[in-house]
Amino acid sequence: MFVSPLQFLLAMSKSKLLWLVCFIIVTGCTQVSQKDSVKQYFSKSNGATITTLAKPFSFYRQEPLLAANSRDYIYVGPVEINEAGQREYVLWLYYCSTIDRDRPAATNVSGSVFLIIDDTPMELVQAHNVRLAYSADGAPYAAPVAGGYAAFYRVTQDQLRHLAQAGQIRLVADARSQNADEYTVWSGAEEGFRLFASYLRDDVDVVFASIQ
């Protein structure tokens, strides 16, 4: 016997109907929230579609010996660059500090950088020729504060998915020196990688640009 949607709803108890309405509202709000958390735009100067999070997440380390409440920050944002189906992935890192010192926190940008994923290190390869760095459209993320330094690091889609499954992520800058600096999550790293990876799940024919 065929039952119309209206007959089905009328046959439901008030409690079940209320639960169904709440489920639809919560699901809709979640979808809107995820959509608003990722942005996409076309870069005319690069001829590519750029996908990023709406805002980067951040790591920090304290410097209590230099000043009270002083911290160095590294903001991180994943980026997809899609040029006519040819896709590459980079992490945008922005080094800045609340400390007025002779050298900026960005000094360590030339050293090795690792993301520690549940105690397993992932080395990041710095990219010196990413066109986004010199794009007339501006950087993929707005600098949270002035006076910092931005750098790009190449990653693969598999690495992004691995990061999305992490329970805990830490960042180590200048990792190969005796002065290695470890940063802990200030806000949203694990959730940010999970959110960005959710938009990659349907991509099966991805061609990565070669690492130069």
**118 and 14 both lie in a single domain:** no
Counting Cα atoms < 13 Å in the Cβ hemisphere of 11 gives 6
Q: Provide the number of structural domains found in the chain.
A: 2
pLDDT of 171 reads: 93
**77 and 179 both lie in a single domain:** yes
**159 and 183 both lie in a single domain:** yes
Tens digit of each residue's pLDDT (9 = 90 or more) over 100-133 = 655 444 444 556 899 999 999 999 988 877 766 5
**146 and 196 both lie in a single domain:** yes
Tens digit of each residue's pLDDT (9 = 90 or more) over 46-102 = 788 999 999 999 999 886 565 566 788 999 999 999 988 889 999 999 998 877 655
CB distance 125 to 153 below 8 Å: yes
Give me the chain's average pLDDT, please. 74
**24 and 110 both lie in a single domain:** no
**77 and 4 both lie in a single domain:** no
Look up the domain containing 25 and give its range: 1-36
Q: Which residues of 18-56 are buried (b: 16+ CB within 10 A; e: fewer)?
A: eeeeeeeeeeeeeeeeeeebbeeeebeebebbbbbbebb
**44 and 29 both lie in a single domain:** no
Interior angle at CA 73, CA 133 and CA 144, nearest 5: 55
